[in-house]
A and B are shown apart, each in its own frame.
Chain A
Amino acid sequence: MQKSALAASSAVLFALATPGLAEPQAEVLHWWTSGGEAKAVGVLQEEFASNGGTWTDMPVAGGGGDAAMTALRARVLSGNAPTAVQLKGPAIQEWYEEGVLADISDVAEAEGWADVLPEAIANHMKCEGSWCAAPVNVHRVDWIWANAEVLEANDIEMPTTWDEFNAAADKLQEAGVIPLAHGGQSWQDATVFETVVLGLGGPEFYEDALIDLNPEALTSDTMVQVFDQMRTMRGYVDDNFSGRDWNLATAMVMNGEAAFQIMGDWAKGEFLAAGKEPGTDFLCASTPGDGFLYNVDSFAMFEVEGEDKQAGQDLLAKLITGPSFQEVFNLNKGSIPARTDVSLDAFDDCAKLSSEDMTASAEAGSLLPSYAHGMALRGAQAGAITDVVTAHFNSDMSSEDAVQQLADAVANSM
């Protein structure tokens, strides 16, 4: 009853909206509603309009995308999917398995995406070989940020191994500075955890443990060491960290209350917004160890009816991955372009470092998806790991128990 009413009303709308010409139409569901993000979407909107398209904005804020996903579910179930949806990582494949994604291989091949995107990232955009999503940016997750003044005052270099980090932290603690600014929210615990896994275990171990979920890797001695390091780092965090938002932790580094923060490159936006200069006021470096953990935002294209909508979809895909949008958007968002052929002259030093490392690690095979930000695993598995990580970090659980629970939780989530 409700469904047929919806269908009838959308049919009426449809009849009104198609006066013969196939003018590109796109309805875009996203949750980029705050400051720099909203500005970044505005760029895309303008570019779409100047190419003759009609953009219908559908922003759904709240819950880090949870609210948008609920809206998406309702739209798909009622047979009226939006044209393009901000989706990322394995969620794209999950929706593909529900049979609702469109094939945009024509655009991708015409634009030569395979040549300009790193292979690891391109694979996320493909569903069983055909292209079904367009990448927008690359956030690097394994960053360590530091207050330059505090490090200088205590005669400390940016750490390149976790032992160096621990030594530096002990020194800072004696000097009365909080070594690590951290917010006790489960995703932040998971962010620190994955950088430690990458740093202590190396790229192969990371892949084995957090992407392939190999039970042997999950219960290995290396994983015990990872949890030991997490316990050590718990000691470097102030007592008042529970529930603190990540940007408040960044502010602690900014005003010299704390020395380091481990956080993705969205933290850079906070530093820049406060008028801090990279290199002089704050320092950026990859966390100790090799590799590069990426968090790629992308738009997945949903199956839609009507030539105007399909034209809109193709135009949107072309613009999103086009060099001009990639540059302008990422300057606003603080990330780097997913394309490797965009000039980085306008970007800051941290972004240039990020881009160099991305190219280098793509060649070395250590360009890896972030598990904490939903790039490596599906929701249920990633959530199960995060539960154990955050329970361990917030209690006196032993590393051996944590490792056992980790293996059990992953098995239970399948």
Chain B
Amino acid sequence: MTKWLENHLPKMVLAPSFIAVLIFVYGFIAWTAWVSLTRSKLLPRYEIDGFIQYDRLFDSPRWDTAFGNLFIFGGLFIGICMVLGLALAILLDQHIRVEGAIRTIYLYPMALSMIVTGTAWKWILNPGLGLEAMVQGWGYPNFSFDWLVDPDMAIYTVVLAGVWQSSGFVMALFLAGLRSVDGEIIKAAQVDGIPTWRIYSAIIIPSMAPIFLSAFIVLAHLAIKAFDLVIALTGGGPGYATDLPATYMYAMAFSRGDIGQAASSAMVMMAVVFAIVVPYLYSELRVRND
């Protein structure tokens, strides 16, 4: 009996969550895929009607904007966070005083929710209340910083707020990575008289490749699911200039009663996630098989 339990207990314990994941994640993905092929409006319907929703999606200028914004926002957000995070981590790694305090200060924005970040930056960037008004008040009446209300630049304010929120977290990741590099190798390089920048670029950073990958995956999923930041910061505006796929999907499903359209945009979002995650899984699994 105990033998049997020993063999089966892990499976029994895992089974409920396994079944729950199977239904609530994969089951609903399948359901969404099905609905995206129908003409569902207010309530879901189940008669398949081809790819009509996808045709409508790719004909919609608003979706073009939202999808384009995903790449502008995602690319800049991930890129700037990585560069800034790495730079901060390297500077902190110089065994400076009060490192603990500084590290905490940089990490703190991560403790705020995106809604708080978005609202705070909305006030800071508002031309009539925030930075612009303040600098003009100092006696520079020609100073202008109105990205928040400029449809062409508004998406970059979302990047700004996102980077402010997340780069400290990336710094912490990189700092842990820097500290995990074998000190002996670094000392050997120093004995050989190799300059510090060379030690970083040729030894430390290449040995941190897995950290880069983890940081990228974490940031990429933050970028793709970004929703609350946009809602709080710009509300998708001016016009729909800062729409992202997630806000588009929400608008279709919950404001417009167009469930089929929402489902098709959700499927396209999932395809983007797959395009990033599948190569990652592939590389991970391949390494294990070696």
Contact = CB atoms under 8 A, between A and B. Distances in A.
Interface of A: 63, 66, 69-70, 73, 76-77, 91, 94-95, 98, 184-186, 189, 238-243, 378-380, 382-383, 387, 390-391, 393-395, 405, 408-409, 412-413
A302 B21 CA distance: 35
Nearest to B42: A94
Give the 10 A-B CB pairs with smallest separation, nearest first: A394-B239, A240-B128, A394-B238, A242-B149, A379-B256, A379-B257, A390-B239, A383-B256, A391-B239, A66-B254
Interface in B256-281: 256-258, 261
Nearest to B58: A412
Contacts of A95: 42
B254 A70 contact: yes
Contact of A395 (B62, B239, B257): B239
Contact of A186 (B60, B61, B240): B240
Given A409-B60, A412-B60, A243 B237 contact: yes
Contacts of B251: 383
Given A94-B42, A243-B234, A391 B61 contact: yes
Contacts of B43: 73, 76-77, 98
A77 B46 CA distance: 14
Nearest to B235: A243
A240 B256 contact: no
Contact of A63 (B62, B234, B254): B254
Contacts of A242: 148-149, 234, 237-238
B235 to A, nearest CB: 5
Contact of A383 (B234, B238, B241, B255): B255
Given A380-B261, A383-B255, A383-B258, 8 more contacts: A66-B254, A73-B42, A185-B235, A239-B149, A243-B122, A378-B257, A380-B41, A413-B56
A390 B261 CA distance: 20
A98 B42 contact: yes
A249 B149 CA distance: 16
A412 B56 contact: yes
Nearest to B233: A243
Contacts of A378: 41, 257
A73 B253 CA distance: 11
A229 B42 CA distance: 35
Interface in B140-161: 146, 148-149, 151
Given A73-B43, A243-B234, A409-B61, A186 B239 contact: yes
A186 B257 contact: no
A409 B62 CA distance: 10
Contacts of A189: 239
Contacts of B239: 186, 189, 390-391, 393-395
A387 B61 contact: yes
A382 B255 CA distance: 11
B59 A380 contact: no
A387 B256 CA distance: 12
Interface in B212-253: 234-235, 237-241, 251
B257 A185 contact: no
A238 B146 CA distance: 13
A220 B164 CA distance: 48
A333 B241 CA distance: 34
Best-surrounded residue of A70, A95, A185, A383 (most CB of chain B within 10 A): A383
Contacts of A394: 151, 237-239, 241
A406 to B, nearest CB: 11
Nearest to B149: A242
Contacts of B127: 239-240
B126 interface: yes
Given A94-B41, A239-B149, A63 B255 contact: yes
Best-surrounded residue of B122, B127, B237 (most CB of chain A within 10 A): B237
B257 to A, nearest CB: 4
A98 to B, nearest CB: 5
Best-surrounded residue of B56, B122, B127, B255 (most CB of chain A within 10 A): B255
B199 to A, nearest CB: 48
A380 B256 contact: yes
Contacts of A240: 126-128, 149
Contact of A391 (B149, B240, B256): B240
Given A73-B42, A94-B42, A379 B237 contact: no
